[in-house]
Amino acid sequence: MRAEFKPAQLQLAAQLGLTIPPTLVTNDVEDARKFAAEHGHVIYKPFRGLPAGEDGHAGAIWAQRVDPDTFDDSLTVMPHLFQAEIPKTGDVRVTVVGERVFASRIEAPGGALDWRRGDWNDLVHTPVTVPETVAALLHRYLAGLDLVFGCFDFALTGAAAEAASWVFIECNPNGQWGWLPDAPAITTAFADILTRKEAAP
């Protein structure tokens, strides 16, 4: 599914005017080493979610820091997606359903790089307001992919969410939302879409 492909997501987000992390897609060892030298801490991410295995369960490769000293000729086998690590002060999950936008700041115990990696029952959620300019771009993002739903992940680089710089990380076009504090309202928003009480953006 093209909406899951991370390089395409980042390209569209940047074209719309959303801030994205410095990113490199390459299978060239020297390019990867140069990128790491320029940006310091570097993160590796998969191109898309993993397909379900024979048992019906899908695995996951979490965003993780990589050591440039480990870069060798094995990188030449296939392209890899590297990003500069954002000095974030928080994470935000934004769920968009039609015209409605739901957002929570997420704090993971120990300040984990990728909050999805730990026990989701330990996550702390705080409602936040998405800046109008960002929300408008998210609607345009979904419209560009003929979608009415998406779960967006952002990194914040300021102290307060409303005044922070919102850095686009990715969009899950089939993201989970039942565990979010806004789940009942999100359910209602889906019901409104399905019963055509609300027009798609």
Residue-wise pLDDT tens digits, 110-139: 777 787 776 777 888 999 999 999 999 999
- Burial class (CB within 10 angstroms; exposed 0-12, middle 13-18, buried 19+) of 171: buried
- Cα separation, 78 vs 98, in Å, equals 37
Instruction: Specify whether 73 is located in the same domain as 139.
Output: no
How many CB atoms lie under 10 A from the CB of residue 99? Answer: 15
User: C-alpha 82: how far from its chain's center?
Assistant: 14
Average pLDDT over residues 165-184: 92
Based on the structure, what is the number of domains in the chain? Answer: 2
Same domain, yes or no, for 109 and 16?
Answer: yes
Name the domain boundary from 48, 70, 85. 85
Identify whether the C-beta of residue 4 lies closer than 8 Å to the C-beta of residue 173. yes
Q: 85, 103, 118: which is the final residue of a domain?
A: 85
**Distance in angstroms (rounded) separating the CA atoms of residues 153 and 140:** 16
Q: Are residues 97 and 195 in the same domain?
A: yes
Residues 103 and 161 in one domain: yes
The parent domain of residue 68 ranges over 22-85
Q: Are 33 and 75 in contact (CB under 8 A)?
A: no
Instruction: Identify the CA nearest to 164 among candidates 122, 130, 199, 198.
Output: 130
Structure tokens at 172: 């899950």
Looking at the structure, tell me whether residues 79 and 47 fall in a common domain.
Answer: yes
Q: What's the pLDDT at 116? A: 78
Q: Are residues 52 and 143 in the same domain?
A: no
Q: Which of 85, 109, 133 is the last residue of a domain?
A: 85
- H runs (alpha helix) in 73-168: 132-144
CATH, residue 34: 3.30.1490
* pLDDT interval class at 64 (50, 70, 90): confident
The tokens of 61 are what? 């490769």
The string of pLDDT tens digits covering residues 81-114 is: 999 998 888 899 999 999 999 999 998 877 777 8
Amino acid 167 reads V
Cα–Cα dist 140/22, whole Å: 22
For residue 58, is pLDDT > 60? Answer: no
Handedness of CA 156, 85, 139, 98 (dihedral sign): negative
Q: How confident is the model at residue 12 (pLDDT cuts 50, 70, 90)?
A: very high
Give the pLDDT confidence score for residue 143 in this predicted structure.
Answer: 96
Q: Which residues pair with 106 in a beta bridge?
A: 91, 125
Do 97 and 145 lie in a common domain? yes
Answer yes or no: do 133 and 198 share one domain. yes
How far apart are alpha carbons 171 and 143 in whole angstroms? Answer: 13
**Are residue 148 and residue 73 in the same domain, yes or no?**
no
> 104 and 177, same structural domain?
yes
Are 16 and 113 part of one and the same domain? yes
> How many angstroms separate the CA atoms of 198 and 201, rounded?
9
